[in-house]
Chain A
Amino acid sequence: MRIGTIDSIWRYPVKGMRGEEIPHIFTAFTGLMGDRIYGVVAADGDPGHPWHTGRDQEEFLLYKPSYKAGEELLLPQHLDATYSEWEPGIDPIYPDSEAFKVKVETPEGVTYDDIEDPAFISDLEKLTGRSLRVHFTQRGQFDARPVSIFSLSAAARLGEELGMEIDKRRFRANFYVEWDNQDDPFYENSLVGKTLKIGEWLEVAIVARDPRCEMITLDPDTADDTPKLLQHLARNHGGDAGVFAAVIQRGRVNKGDPIFLK
């Protein structure tokens, strides 16, 4: 049964920094290609969550990363060769680390041609007073689950409840979706425990609601905070917004793809 449509696809080359909207993406068992590939790790960070993010420096959210490579980081080479009727399929080999080079532009307009340029970390350390390093992995550094989903209707309803416009980007989802069911603005909550097929190939199990932290209080364009958003979620929605998914069968997803309930 068809239940909705992919409104937009987003990935976050550097954990905690601004995301980028992309037209299509290969989604592996370990999440979207190129999602949270880099992270900035703090020596004095919580051992359980050592990453430096907007929770430590609000303006970190405004740093703009972008890959130097194009299509090769959206769809792996030879992807078609790995699609088969033999489920669950095989994750194709990713490009070497060199292909994942990312440049970063600061809110002040300074551009570092490579996040691994020592000048980037050195300047960030001076700004924050923390001992930091860049951590790279080709398979992502998300907190909990490889794919996050959030609906436009949930953003709209939260905005109505709070009397403010809610930018969907606050929720840093991978897939923003539009549900066909417009009666329940938080329809995704009812999908926990169910399996969705997205587009021609991807299948995901909706495994849990997404418990939120302070990141959603930060305006994605200014980093100003609105604590009442998180307070409202905690007092009225169990602290959750959106859902997490695990990948059952990997594959390509396109903006506008239909979503089916299996």
Chain B
Amino acid sequence: MTLIESFRLTLDGEDHTVPITPGETLLEAALAAGISAPFSCQEGRCGTCKSWLRSGDVSMANVRALSPRNQERGYVLACQSRPSSSEPIWLDFDLSEAQSNAG
């Protein structure tokens, strides 16, 4: 299966196209691209890199910081997320819209 080579990232209302290499997490790719994505522990515990996966598929090694409510909303932890299909990924750190959608 061919995974994606880049993904769309939204932060502070701006869209970015972020290159990603096999094995990289979405957060690692964003930081390598010079984007000041929020993060802290990078172990899936603190929840700082919580973001909305608006499209695409990822696998996460650790989801401790994601409550059932967060998972229902489609949130992921960027530090734990790696692409898992060829579907285009759109990762959104501006979470207010996701919350509105969740009602």
Contact = CB atoms under 8 A, between A and B. Distances in A.
A-B interaction: yes
Interface of A: 46, 49, 55-58, 211-214, 217, 224-225, 227-228, 230-235, 239
A56 to B, nearest CB: 5
A231 B50 CA distance: 9
Contacts of B67: 55-58
Given A217-B47, A239-B48, A227 B39 contact: no
Nearest to A211: B40
Contact of B36 (A46, A214, A235): A235
A57 B41 CA distance: 21
A213 B38 CA distance: 12
Interface residues of B, number: 19
B65 interface: yes
A233 B46 CA distance: 12
A164 B13 CA distance: 18
B82 to A, nearest CB: 20
Contacts, number: 58
B9 to A, nearest CB: 14
A78 B39 CA distance: 48
Contacts of A230: 38, 46-48, 50
A181 B36 CA distance: 32
Nearest to A57: B67
A214 B69 contact: no
A58 B47 contact: no
A227 B40 contact: no
